[in-house]
Amino acid sequence: MDVNVQQIRGNWSLGYSLDKHALSSTPIGENEYGHMQFNTVRTPVGEALFQLKYRSNYSQIPVISNQMARSLTGRFGDVSFVIPMPPSKQRQRQPVVEIAKEFARIVGLPYYDNFLVKTVATSAMKDIALREDKVSALVNAFTLNDFLPNGRFNVLIIDDLFDTGSSLEAATQVLKSSQKIGHVYVATVTRKR
């Protein structure tokens, strides 16, 4: 799969995204329920993520995870362990959790899905106007389960889609509040821009 890796910036130490999510999205008219329909052309990795998240095509997990391992391994410093970005929507199988777990297995790193958890429901981020307010709302929604031994650890957060970065910035802020966390690295499957 061809990808166009790009650095993504935020309050984390270093971050990368594999590729844009979509190349174009053209309105094609309303469906029978009055909802606008779109003809969306996605990048190969964007299509793989779409199939996983919205069509429950779990065969895309190793495809995406292997691509992340090929394209992103070696770009970060010493990573101690991998965590998923806490999902915002409840699903029976969480795509971001599955991708992070498989990525960690491929690259041979420890994986913790309960280190950073979302313990409070938040309003939809699209309903909050200011970026600072989004980050603040999310910081208060995350809890850190610090079960690490003494020492300093570098963590890699895996997320599926990078949009404004407010959720990743909030997660990074919470992680950095622990004296045991050194660098926070970020890797996303796709990005909106």
Domain that includes residue 177, residue range:
6-191
In a domain, 1, yes or no: no
**pLDDT tens-place string over residues 46-94:** 999 999 999 999 999 999 999 999 999 999 989 999 999 998 777 788 9
Which CATH number do you get for residue 81? 3.40.50
pLDDT digits (tens, 9 = 90+) for 165-190: 989 999 999 999 999 999 999 999 99
- Nearest Cα neighbor of 98 from 84, 79, 81 is 84
* pLDDT of 193 above 80: no
> Residue 5 pLDDT > 60, yes or no?
yes
Select from 88, 71, 70 the least CA-distant residue to 142: 88
What is the rounded CA–CA span in Å between residue 164 and residue 170? 12
**Total tally of structural domains belonging to the chain:** 1
Give pLDDT, residue 136: 77
176 within domain boundaries: yes
Q: What is the pLDDT of residue 127?
A: 65
The model's confidence at residue 19, banded by pLDDT at 50, 70 and 90, is very high
